[in-house]
Amino acid sequence: MPTVKTFAVQDVMLIAPDRFADRRGFFSEVFSLRALHDIGLDAEFVQDNHSLSVERGTVRGLHFQKPPHAQGKLVRVCRGKILDVPVDLRRGSPIRGHHVAVELSAENWLQLWIPEGLAHGFCTMEPDTEVMYKTTGYYSPQDDAGIAWDDPELAIDWPVTRAEAVVSDKDAALPRLAGRPSSFVWKPTRGQSERVA
């Protein structure tokens, strides 16, 4: 059974699947719906995505899809290394605008679960990095949205400067979070008080 770490940003989970190694290499069950249900992740995945970033310092994000086509994501790296960053966008969340920053790599074999209501982005820390992620919703071009990866109010400690980052024109034009309305609503877990912002 995989081990799990949770964060202050509610519902984000860092998952470490079992990996069995010997002189031939290794074997790992990288996806098991039953195992995910056992650790409390009850999601139905409908799409697999795979990206290759040739240059170190490539930044993708911060992306999300608006309801009704919002997506949860289960992210892993099969080659190279990234700094993976989800940002809480949920209206009413006591830490809206806060983020988690986790290194995912082919070496550490970790996976990050990012629920609906969070923007997601990453920066490659090695050349020729390949990232794979499952989503709980299909890609919907009309609901594709994002916020600026380098928004100073988010205070994300990226491994590259703005001048060094390799960013698409689309991502470079994304707006800052401040003043942006959110279609996502935070739902407290048991023991937390309801709060509306």
Catalytic residues: 63, 133
Q: What is the DSSP letter of 183?
A: S
Helices and strands per DSSP (H, E), number in the chain = 2, 13
The terminus-to-terminus CA distance of the chain in angstroms comes to 38
Question: Which among 65, 72, 73, 62 is positioned nearest to 132, based on CA atoms?
Answer: 73
The two three-digit tokens of residue 48, written as one number: 């697999």
Beta bridge partners of 132: 50, 76
Cα Rg, the chain, nearest whole Å: 17
Residue with tokens 């697999």: 48
